[in-house]
Structure 1
Amino acid sequence: MAEGPNAQLRQAREAMSSRLYPGTPMGRDELSALVRDWITAQDPKGRLSAFDANHLGKLERGSVRRPGALVRAALCSILGASERDLGLVSAQDQERVSQALSGRVRTDSKALQAIAEVLASVRRLEDATSAGEVISTVEAQRSMVERLARNSRGPVRGQAVGLLSELEQYLGWLSIPLDQWKDSERHLDRASSLALESDDPERLSLALSFSAYRNLRQDNLRSAEALNEAAGRDPRVNIGLRTYNEFQRAEVLAKDGLRTEALKSLSHADELADRLPEDPDELPDSGYWYVPSFFHGQRAFVLHALGENKEAARIAREAIRAMPSSWREAEWASRRKKLAELDS
């Protein structure tokens, strides 16, 4: 059954003042152009978006209810609203989640998928804003999935626990730039435990890897090395995450003064990076940033830890230039920017 026009999206657009014609509401052409620019700025290869006023019109008329994660994130960022505020979560999905939360029906895969799709756009939104801007949304999602997991049975419970692990892992990551180190540890420890419960090697590896990163940032090198080693044990993990783990291992070893071992690990990381798929869409949604420009920056961190500051700064500048423009201002890119200025 059709859900009807999306009045929420149209009203949000009309409530936004035009940047081209101040004092008048923003038109479809102007908003769609901003969405195109936002999406292109996010793309690792700078590919142009085809989003236009016609696409926006379909969203406002309700003939398309749920656009892709990038379009949703762009609209949320530009209009300063949540997906729910903009009517981008279908009434059917909202009802499915609400019924499962209330316990009237068992949690099903579609209810979990509805939340996972919101998470995908929140990750993109974080790149353009900051951890502080999205953490409350992720906490709300985590609370919902806690309840959905309690209301699930059989294979669906494994899916719910896996998604809960991913949300805890993401909260652990978001807590680091906010200097909430104890919270980060708590979230990441729970993420690892939940990933083990759901037998999810990808989520377990990422939770352990983020725990290693947390310890690396605090110079707890023995713990960082042990956690990194654990993150790399399962061969089922995708090549993007394996590459990240290997660059991380090289940095840990370099900071610990183990130069020969660090260089060997760096060489292996470079070999893995050369085998990455050309199209980042072939990687998992949570690993869209596993692209050459990102890993070039990871290489700079290793060189810096080895004491090769001039080369590290040069590589960091190259990495920043090759990044999507929006990533250059992302909170997580600040370490790269500092490194790029080492020899200035």
Structure 2
Amino acid sequence: MAESFGAALLRLREAAGLSQRKLARAVPISQSALSRYEAGLQRPDERTAARLDDLLAAGGRLLELWPSLGTETLSPAEEERLADAADHPRRVDAAALDSLAGVLTAVRRLEDETSSAHVIPMVDAQRELARQFAAEARSAMRPVAVGLLSELEQYRGWLAIPGQRWEQARQHLDRAAVLGMEADDPLRLSTALSFSAYGAIRRHDLSTADALSEAARRDTRVHIGLRTYETYQRAEVLARNDERADAVRLLTEADGMVDKLPPADELPPSGYWYTPAFFLGQRAFVLRALGDESGARQAARDCLAEMPPEWTTSEWAARRRELADAS
């Protein structure tokens, strides 16, 4: 995927050694507006884009990206509504929160084609905006805003895992779980717990993974995609703990759940990847933990063969590729 305007703006500003405040003053625009441009939350007008291109000595390269902003998928009306909410957080409404959630979904898909490091600055800017909304939203909107902040915190924790920033991941995921409870949002709470369990598995902390994976599965109100993921995850933890009979039972249960998944276009935006191809990879990790190396390699190969092309360069696909190529 081509670099977006916001990502290019951020890269060029940092390469020039300029703070957001200094560049914003030079344009001149507000620092909050510049932050929204970099995060893909707002589209600058063409004159401002040209001014930024000139100040950053981009030679027209930044301006060329202006008509097509990549992750900036909002309509002009949505951008205006979100910008107004950013300037006046107490005015945030359901439509503005939906717009921010839509940008988050686009960034998740961008990560599939780039890397966690590529999208972290954008997610941090979105997270800060969501934090303001959660702090200042009117009472009717506060649970929705807190729930969205929980999702951004959980995603930020997830993004820290590929770089093995374990403490950073834990802090974000702990915060996500607390916010999920505050919002009374079973989906976001369960996701935060399962992501925390994933981080514990990756750092070989099986006692923590055991507790978290069990807790993540307790609330059955979450959609079947997440429940399927958590069932495979629980099976892997049990297999790593040499609880083979229970692991095999849950593996069989998870395989049956895959057959009940809805079509990909009916999956929620926060779980668009919960497809049969993705779960072949989860099955591979369980088989490896059970000692079935041949079966694990084949499941990983099948996963890679069936996943959409835009996922093949993702960091989670790389783990499946390592397993498929293991001797």
Q: Which residue of 2 aligns with 1:178?
A: 163
1:208 to 168, 175, 193: 193
Q: In structure 1, how many angstroms separate the alpha carbons of the residues matched to 2:309 and 2:326?
A: 21
Q: In structure 2, how many angstroms separate the alpha carbons of the residues matched to 1:218 and 1:86?
A: 32
Q: Give 1:339 deviation, angstroms.
A: 0.6
1:98 to 64, 79, 83: 83
Cα distance change of structure 1 residues 299 and 81 upon mapping to structure 2, 3 Å threshold: farther
- Normalized against structure 2, the TM-score is what? 0.77
Q: Is the 8 A contact 2:258 2:279 kept in 1?
A: yes
Q: Give 1:140 deviation, angstroms.
A: 0.2
Q: In structure 1, how many angstroms separate the alpha carbons of the residues matched to 2:316 and 2:301?
A: 15
Query: Which shifted more, 79-88 or 227-236?
Result: 79-88
Q: Is the 8 A contact 1:191 1:207 kept in 2?
A: yes
Q: Does 1:125 align with 2:120?
A: no
Q: Given residue 245 of structure 2, which amino acid in structure 1 is its aligned partner?
A: T
Q: Which residue of 2 aligns with 1:54?
A: none
Q: Secondary structure at the match of 1:233?
A: coil
Q: Does 1:258 align with 2:230?
A: no
Q: In structure 2, how many angstroms separate the alpha carbons of the residues matched to 1:315 and 1:168?
A: 31
Q: Is the 8 A contact 2:71 2:103 kept in 1?
A: no
Higher RCO (CA 8 Å, separation ≥ 6 residues): 1
- Normalized against structure 1, the TM-score is what? 0.73
1:284 to 262, 265, 268: 268
Q: Which residue of 1 aligns with 2:31?
A: none
1:68-217 correspondence to structure 2 within 5 Å: 88-103=73-88, 106-217=91-202
Q: In structure 1, how many angstroms separate the alpha carbons of the residues matched to 2:130 and 2:298?
A: 44
Q: Does 1:272 align with 2:257?
A: yes
Q: In structure 2, how many angstroms separate the alpha carbons of the residues matched to 1:124 and 1:104?
A: 27
Q: Give 1:314 deviation, angstroms.
A: 1.4
Cα distance change of structure 1 residues 86 and 264 upon mapping to structure 2, 3 Å threshold: closer
Q: Secondary structure at the match of 2:164?
A: coil
Query: Which shifted more, 150-159 or 247-256?
Result: 150-159
Q: Does 1:220 align with 2:205?
A: yes
1:332 to 308, 316, 323: 316
Cα distance change of structure 1 residues 244 and 80 upon mapping to structure 2, 3 Å threshold: farther
1:221-236 correspondence to structure 2 within 5 Å: 221-236=206-221
Give CA deviations for 1:20-78 in whole Å, capped at 9, x if unaligned.
xxxxxxxxxxxxxxxxxxxxxxxxxxxxxxxxxxxxxxxxxxxxxxxxxxxxxxxxxxx
Q: Give 1:284 deviation, angstroms.
A: 0.6
Q: Does 1:303 align with 2:287?
A: yes
For structure 1, the 5+ residue unaligned runs are: 1-7, 13-78
Q: Does 1:318 align with 2:302?
A: yes
Query: Which shifted more, 260-269 or 241-250?
Result: 260-269
Cα distance change of structure 1 residues 112 and 265 upon mapping to structure 2, 3 Å threshold: same
Output the aligned Cα RMSD: 2.2
Q: In structure 2, how many angstroms separate the alpha carbons of the residues matched to 1:84 and 1:112?
A: 20
Q: Which residue of 2 aligns with 1:249?
A: 234
Q: Give 1:215 deviation, angstroms.
A: 0.4
Q: In structure 2, how many angstroms separate the alpha carbons of the residues matched to 1:217 and 1:181?
A: 9
Q: In structure 2, how many angstroms separate the alpha carbons of the residues matched to 1:88 and 1:234?
A: 33
Q: In structure 2, how many angstroms separate the alpha carbons of the residues matched to 1:292 and 1:298?
A: 10
Q: Given residue 337 of structure 1, which amino acid in structure 2 is its aligned partner?
A: R
Q: Given residue 275 of structure 2, which amino acid in structure 1 is its aligned partner?
A: V
Q: Given residue 329 of structure 1, which amino acid in structure 2 is its aligned partner?
A: T
Give CA deviations for 1:101-159 in whole Å, capped at 9, x if unaligned.
33375211111111111111111111010001111100000001111122211221111
Q: Which residue of 2 aligns with 1:25?
A: none
Q: Is the 8 A contact 1:83 1:89 kept in 2?
A: no
Cα distance change of structure 1 residues 295 and 80 upon mapping to structure 2, 3 Å threshold: farther
Give CA deviations for 1:193-250 in whole Å, capped at 9, x if unaligned.
0000000000111000000000011111111111111111111110000000000001
Q: Give 1:84 deviation, angstroms.
A: 6.0
Q: Is the 8 A contact 1:109 1:156 kept in 2?
A: yes
Q: In structure 2, how many angstroms separate the alpha carbons of the residues matched to 1:295 and 1:217?
A: 18
Q: Give 1:80 deviation, angstroms.
A: 6.6
